[in-house]
Amino acid sequence: MEFIEINNVFKVYKNGVSALADISLKISKGDFVFIIGQSGSGKSTLTKLLYREEKPNRGSVFVGGINVGKLRNGNVYKLRRKIGVVFQDFKLLPKLTVYENVAYPLESYGMTKSEIRERVKKALDRVHLKDKMRSYPNQLSGGEQQRVCIARAIVNEPKLIICDEPTGDLDPKMSKEIMDVIEEINKDLGSTIIMATHDKTIVDKMKKRVIYLKDGVLISDKKKGTYVEDESV
Partners of residue 61 on adjacent β-strands: 6
Q: Which of 22, 70, 77, 200 binds other proteins (CB under 8 A)?
A: 77
Taking Cα atoms as reference points, which of 133, 184, 139, 194 lies closest to residue 162?
Answer: 194
Shortest gap between Cβ of 60 and other proteins (angstroms)?
17
Shortest gap between Cβ of 145 and other proteins (angstroms)?
13
Cα(214)–Cα(43) distance, rounded to whole angstroms?
9
Shortest gap between Cβ of 219 and other proteins (angstroms)?
29
Q: Which of 11, 43, 52, 126 binds other proteins (CB under 8 A)?
A: 52
Q: Which of 17, 93, 118, 139 binds other proteins (CB under 8 A)?
A: 93
Determine if 85 is a binding residue for other proteins (CB under 8 A). yes
3-state secondary structure of 37: coil
Among positive and negative, which fits the CA dihedral 56, 192, 34, 7? negative
Shortest gap between Cβ of 111 and other proteins (angstroms)?
8
Determine if 109 is a binding residue for other proteins (CB under 8 A). yes
Shortest gap between Cβ of 51 and other proteins (angstroms)?
7
Number of residues that bind other proteins (CB under 8 A): 28
Residues in Cβ contact with 123 at an 8 Å cutoff, skipping those fewer than 6 apart: 102, 151, 152, 154, 155
Residues in Cβ contact with 10 at an 8 Å cutoff, skipping those fewer than 6 apart: 18, 20, 21, 22, 23, 56, 57, 58, 59
Cα 160 to Cα 47, 66, 81, 113, 181, distances in angstroms: 11, 13, 10, 25, 15
Determine if 51 is a binding residue for other proteins (CB under 8 A). yes
Considering the complex, state which of residue 34 and residue 90 has its C-beta at the smaller distance from other proteins.
Answer: 90
Among positive and negative, which fits the CA dihedral 211, 91, 146, 160? negative
Q: Which of 104, 122, 157, 226 binds other proteins (CB under 8 A)?
A: 104
Determine if 169 is a binding residue for other proteins (CB under 8 A). no
Which residues contribute to the site for other proteins (CB under 8 A)? 51-53, 55, 73-74, 76-81, 83, 85, 91-93, 95, 104-105, 107-112, 152, 156
